[in-house]
Structure 1
Amino acid sequence: MERPLMTASGEGKSYIYANFNPKYAQYALTILRTHFNFCVAFKTGERIETPAQRLGITDKQFSMRDIIYFK
Structure 2
Amino acid sequence: MLSEEDRLPGIGVGNRSGSDLPVARLKPDLFSLLFKGCKAERYSAKQHLFMQEDSSDRVYGIISGTIEISLYSPGGRK
| TM over 0.5, shorter chain | no
Using structure 1 for the length normalisation, give the TM-score. Answer: 0.23
Q: RCO (CA 8 Å, sep 6+): is it higher in 1 or 2? A: 1
Q: Rg bigger for which structure?
A: 1
